[in-house]
Structure 1
Amino acid sequence: MRLLKTFRTVKNLRGRGRKPKVTPVLARRMVREVKKNSRITTKAILMNLDSAGGNISRQTVQRTLHTAGFHGRRPMRTPLLQIRHTKTRLAFANAHLDKDEDFWSSVLWSDETKIELFGHNDVAFIWRKNGEAFNPKNTIPTVKHCGGNLMFWGCFSAGGPGNLITVNGTMKKEQYIKILNNNIRQSAEKLGLGHQWTVQHYNDPKHTAKVVKKWLADKNINVLQ
């Protein structure tokens, strides 16, 4: 009643209740630490704040970062690209900007993938905002390496997946031709691509070998450059 009579309201007034331990200045310092190093831990943030942090907990640091829009996420794994790879991919994208939906629907995409059986499985977390998953500082570059693994060849189009084949040992140009011969046309027919379709594979040495190019030409199979 006293609050109503004095201030004409029953709402809590500013300044009432327990004062927050994290000041706006301290919150900005936490955000700067995360922007400087997205892989920093809450424990390391507290150590960097030193005495300025006062008696605050790691949970308080987390809540402060959540309020600022940063959340702990697993980093995206992306291929380790060199400058020449980036330029080539950009040139490919620019060369096909005018292609319509019908063209892309007729493309049969193919590739090989290796699944590591005994890989590095440690869980890493980063602090990032939504929409920043593929920022280079928020990703883990990956490279191919030997070890316990399984390799597969597969293909797909806009209509769905094609054949999936297990590759025995290291794939060479002779084995690649055999896989294409047994699967590429069958996959195109299964996906209903008709007679006018194009196959895509990247510039791996076994893909660009002369015998592979000759086989594709002899079979009148269009290749997306």
Structure 2
Amino acid sequence: MFRTVKNLRGRGRKPKVTTVLARWIMREVKKNPRITTKAILMNLGSAGGNISRQTVQRTLHTTGFHGRRPRRTPLLQIRNTKGRLAFANAHLDKEKDFWSSVLWSDETKIELFGHNDLAFIWRKKGEAFNPKNTIPTVKHGGGNLMFWRCFSADGPGNLITVNSTMKKEQYIKILNNHIRQSAEKLGLGHQWTFQHDNDPKHTAKVVKK
């Protein structure tokens, strides 16, 4: 009748999720990224017809939404947020030369054995304790190492191992011994800005002095 072997529009099973329904599901996820497919179906009620959780999942996947673990970020209080915004606004129009004259510093902790990150694996039933599917652990976590380092736009400065927990006295000693030396090595000249975060040992009165 149609003189063609192509699939014609209107043939086949109609999709259960209409365009309007798909937009509604996307709005629900945008309003609350933590909402579950079960909760979406409950909110839909009779409007959702007989669609399943898998259908909702597929609808979200086709629109670019996928389930992921939320990233961990520092807990910021209102004063922290205001401080960051004020810093950003104050330095918004700074020239590239200004940022080239800034010396930044921070500390980091490295686990000696294993890591703190959560991981996923694919395994079959009964293979939970297969060595390939486990993460080895040691008593008390195996310990860690703390490092301090400074850096600028031109590269890294000195790298220092921190013994035990860094306190303000040890921080002052590091600054006295390594800040100027790093600035000279990085070619910052005689006028440069030192920048560190608001960690309590950084903001102690004796450190500021």
Partners of 1:89 and 1:65 in 2: how far apart? Answer: 34
Amino acid across the alignment from 1:153: W
| Contact in 1 for aligned 2:38/2:53 (Cα 8 Å) | no
Once the two structures are superposed, residues 106-137 of structure 1 have per-residue CA deviations (whole angstroms, 9 ceiling, x without a partner) of 1001122345678864469xxxxxxxxxxxxx
Q: Give unmatched runs, 5+ long, in structure 2.
A: 121-140
1:208–1:76 CA distance, 2 compared to 1 (3 A): same
Distance change in 2, residues 1:53/1:183 (3 Å): farther
* 1:202 counterpart = 2:201: no
* SS class of match (2:35): coil
**In structure 1, which of residues 65, 71, 77 is the aligned counterpart of residue 72 of structure 2?**
77
Alignment partner of 1:54 out of 13, 34, 50: 50
- Report whether the alignment pairs 1:67 with 2:62: yes
2:149 aligns to what? Answer: 154
TM-score normalised by structure 2 residue count? 0.71
Match of 2:35 among 14, 33, 40: 40
Cα distance in structure 1, aligned partners of 2:167 and 2:19: 61
Q: By how many angstroms is 1:50 displaced?
A: 6.1
Say if 2:102 and 2:193, in contact at 8 Å, map to a contact too.
yes
1:1-225 map, 5 Å: 2-4=1-3, 11-42=6-37, 45-46=40-41, 49=44, 52=48, 54=50, 56=52, 58=54, 60-115=55-110, 121-122=117-118, 149-214=144-209
Distance 1:40 1:123 in 2: 22
Report how many aligned residue pairs link the two structures.
Answer: 186
Cα distance per residue 1:145-190 (max 9 Å; x no partner): xx96543222211112222323222222210011112321232233
Q: CA distance change for structure 1 residues 186 and 199 in 2, over 3 Å: closer, same or farther?
A: same
The one-letter amino acid paired with 1:193 is L
Contact 2:154–2:186, Cα closer than 8 Å, also in 1: yes
For 2:36 and 2:203, locate their aligned partners in 1 and report how far apart those are by CA, in whole Å.
46
RMSD of aligned residue pairs (Cα, Å) = 3.2
Q: After TM superposition, give the deviation of residue 25 of structure 1 in Å.
A: 4.3
TM-score after normalising by structure 1:
0.66
Say which SS state the counterpart of residue 111 (structure 1) adopts.
strand
> How far 1:92 moved relative to its partner?
1.7
Unaligned runs of 5+ in 1: 125-146, 215-225
Task: Give the superposition deviation at 1:77.
Answer: 2.6
Q: Deviations over 1:74-110 (max 9, x none)?
A: 4333221111111112222222233211111010011
Query: Which of the pair is proportionally richer in strand?
Result: 1
One-letter amino acid of the counterpart of residue 184, structure 1: I
Larger mean CA deviation between 14-23 and 147-156 belongs to 147-156
